């Protein structure tokens, strides 16, 4: 009997794993002459300057209604993906830091606005220019029906007038991370989705998440070169804070098991092509959300293990969520930890904000923000220094709100090794791992699920980022690690593919 081949997503994940014996050959020196710019430029189009509308909104009544609408849109985009700091470099151009973290500061995502025609934005296509906080209106025509068709006539697009499309310019990340860059591209997009969700609540928008669309149609709509840039997610913006009906956010692609030998350097593009949905693949799409009974229980319930409740009061974000906006704009990835302990209460706050969004409805946040399928994501936590909590490896059960201990040991030395020798792993008080059963996920959504898993993990990671910064803690995501050794050392089941690592500690 012939062996069943793994899907291209599984093949990609296996091929892009870091291994101690091969990592040196996969990480060659950077070609600084080809370093990509993190900003897209348009030679034609009409510029709309959003900077004049970045005003304090405490006295909105002193502005006209149209000015208030511009202020809301300007603030929403700035808090989602705006440039919040400039760092001088020895290379000449400064490093521009944005409201979201990005691996290597490369920012592969681009943000486009598609307008049906509103009081602010005529029908057409716009690109958000983060560097100058402007919109460039590069196509002036009715395009909404084409977007609806590309999204299989999703009902939310009939109710809205404005949608965002996030794309990825592949080389921005591949320049440094080669084929493994696709992981980081989708994680970075997830960070952006987390900011869009929260910035939406701050500014009266309800972002809806669409992962199912005809890729080629959206690329053509935005006039993209699909070899260089591709659509990753569509986000309709509802101006009503209510969520009248839950809709599905993810559609399946095909599962490709027949593929040729793919040389290094071409694997990223091959995977992206395989994750696309052609127009003929889905004839009738039922968008109403499904709630399978299997998702009602946490996946792992180890017998006789120590169980620690994580139930706590919500983080207070202050009046009108002012603390949240301030945190978004001052967020930075931590470069070093002191090694000092966190407290169990702090850890509870972090997990509460990340995994219990319904607790934040009274403060004005979305109680059920859109993800693709959180039922596929599992969370493990390694505790090296949390006062009130034993050292070791834990499974986090979000529905039961408890930590379930798997192993009893201090793993600082192993974490230092697993995180490619980064001191962040060694000195963190706790390290959180997002994992997924990749085989099971592919069976449900085809190869496209590789996008969904990493975007959902990045979305969770961004909530974790913001909660940590708000509490005065340090936090830093890690996308480079020895994949298989994580499972071996920490006792994580072998069918759990490690998707993302977030380190938490006291900042130095």
- Do 215 and 310 lie in one domain? The reply is no
**Residue 27: pLDDT band by 50, 70, 90 thresholds?**
low
Give the count of beta carbons closer than 10 Å to the beta carbon of residue 32. 8
Question: Chain-wide mean pLDDT for the chain?
Answer: 93
Contacts of 105 (CB under 8 A, 6+ apart): 38, 95, 97
Distance CA 227, CA 168 (A): 11
- Do 334 and 243 lie in one domain? The reply is no
Q: Record the pTM.
A: 0.96
Distance CA 91, CA 146 (A): 43
Structural domain span for residue 339: 293-505
Q: What are phi and psi of 222, to 5 degrees?
A: -90, 0
Q: What is the pLDDT of residues 195-250, one digit of tens each?
A: 999 999 999 999 999 999 999 999 999 999 999 999 999 999 998 766 557 889 99
Q: Do 451 and 482 contact (CB within 8 A), yes or no? A: no
- Do 206 and 321 lie in one domain? The reply is no
Q: Is the pLDDT of residue 50 over 80?
A: yes
User: Is residue 286 one of the residues assigned to a domain?
Assistant: no
Q: Do 446 and 252 contact (CB within 8 A), yes or no? A: yes
User: Is residue 24 one of the residues assigned to a domain?
Assistant: no
Task: Using DSSP, state whether 40 is helix, strand or coil.
Answer: coil
Tokens 């694997």 sit on residue: 267
Burial of 30 (0-12, 13-18, 19+ CB in 10 A): exposed
Contacts of 195 (CB under 8 A, 6+ apart): 79, 80, 81, 99, 100, 328, 462
- Do 177 and 303 lie in one domain? The reply is no
pLDDT of residue 15: 96
Q: Do 19 and 420 contact (CB within 8 A), yes or no? A: no
- Do 261 and 330 lie in one domain? The reply is no
What CATH number did the domain enclosing 63 receive? 3.40.109.10
User: Is residue 206 one of the residues assigned to a domain?
Assistant: yes
**Torsional class of 114: left (φ above 0), alpha (ψ -120 to 50), beta (otherwise):** beta
Lowest mean pLDDT among 250-259, 354-363, 366-375, 489-498: 489-498
- Do 81 and 189 lie in one domain? The reply is yes
Distance CA 244, CA 29 (A): 52
Task: Using DSSP, state whether 257 is helix, strand or coil.
Answer: coil
Tokens 């209106």 sit on residue: 137
- Do 263 and 302 lie in one domain? The reply is no
User: Is residue 27 one of the residues assigned to a domain?
Assistant: no
Q: What is the pLDDT of residues 108-130, one digit of tens each?
A: 999 999 999 999 999 999 999 99
User: Is residue 28 one of the residues assigned to a domain?
Assistant: no
Q: How many domains does the chain have?
A: 2
Tokens 């209604």 sit on residue: 65
Tokens 């969770």 sit on residue: 460
Q: 286-316 b/e with 16+ CB inside 10 Å = b?
A: ebeeeeeeeeeebbeeeeeeeebebebebbe
């Amino acid at each position: 009997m012939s062996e069943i081949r793994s899907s291209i997503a599984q093949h990609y994940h296996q091929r892009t794993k870091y291994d101690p014996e091969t990592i040196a050959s996969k990480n060659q020196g950077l070609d600084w002459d080809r370093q990509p710019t993190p900003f897209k430029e348009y030679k034609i189009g009409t510029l709309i300057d959003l900077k004049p509308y970045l005003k304090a909104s405490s006295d909105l009544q002193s502005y006209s209604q149209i000015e208030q609408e511009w202020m809301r849109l300007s603030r929403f985009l700035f808090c989602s993906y705006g440039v919040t700091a400039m760092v001088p470099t020895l290379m000449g151009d400064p490093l521009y830091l944005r409201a979201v973290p990005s691996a290597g500061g490369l920012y592969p995502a681009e943000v486009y606005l598609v307008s049906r025609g509103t009081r602010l934005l005529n029908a057409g296509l716009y690109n958000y220019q983060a560097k100058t906080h402007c919109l460039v209106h590069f196509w002036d025509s009715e395009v909404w029906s084409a977007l609806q068709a590309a999204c299989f006539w999703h009902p939310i697009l009939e109710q809205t007038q404005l949608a965002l499309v996030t794309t990825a310019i592949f080389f921005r990340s591949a320049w440094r991370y080669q084929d493994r860059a696709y992981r980081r591209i989708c994680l970075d997009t997830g960070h952006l989705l987390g900011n869009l969700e929260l910035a939406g609540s701050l500014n009266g928008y309800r972002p809806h998440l669409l992962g199912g669309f005809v890729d080629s149609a959206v690329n053509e709509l935005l006039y993209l070169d699909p070899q260089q840039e591709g659509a990753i997610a569509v986000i309709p913006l509802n101006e009503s804070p209510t969520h009248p009906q839950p809709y599905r956010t993810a559609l399946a692609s095909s599962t490709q098991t027949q593929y040729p030998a793919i040389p290094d350097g071409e694997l990223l593009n091959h995977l992206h092509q395989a994750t696309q949905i052609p127009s003929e693949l889905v004839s009738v799409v039922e968008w109403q959300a499904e709630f399978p009974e299997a998702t009602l229980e946490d996946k792992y319930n180890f017998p006789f293990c120590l169980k620690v409740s994580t139930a706590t009061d919500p983080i207070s974000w202050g009046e009108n969520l002012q603390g949240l906006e301030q945190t978004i704009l001052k967020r930075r990835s931590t470069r070093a930890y002191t090694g000092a302990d966190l407290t169990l209460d702090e850890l509870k706050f972090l997990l509460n904000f990340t995994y219990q969004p319904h607790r934040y409805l009274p403060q004005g946040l979305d109680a059920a923000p859109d993800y693709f399928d959180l039922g596929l994501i599992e969370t493990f936590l390694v505790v090296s220094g949390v006062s009130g909590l034993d050292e070791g490896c834990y499974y986090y059960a979000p529905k039961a709100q408890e930590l379930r201990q798997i192993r009893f040991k201090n793993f600082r030395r192993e974490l230092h090794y697993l995180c490619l020798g980064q001191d962040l792993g060694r000195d963190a008080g706790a390290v959180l791992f997002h994992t997924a059963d990749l085989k099971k996920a592919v069976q449900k959504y085809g190869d496209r699920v590789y996008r969904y898993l990493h975007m959902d993990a990045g979305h969770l990671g961004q909530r974790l980022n913001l909660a940590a910064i708000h509490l005065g803690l340090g936090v830093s995501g890690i996308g480079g690690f020895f994949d298989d050794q994580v499972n071996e050392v920490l006792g994580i089941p072998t069918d759990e593919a490690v998707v993302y690592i977030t380190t938490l500690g006291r900042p130095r």
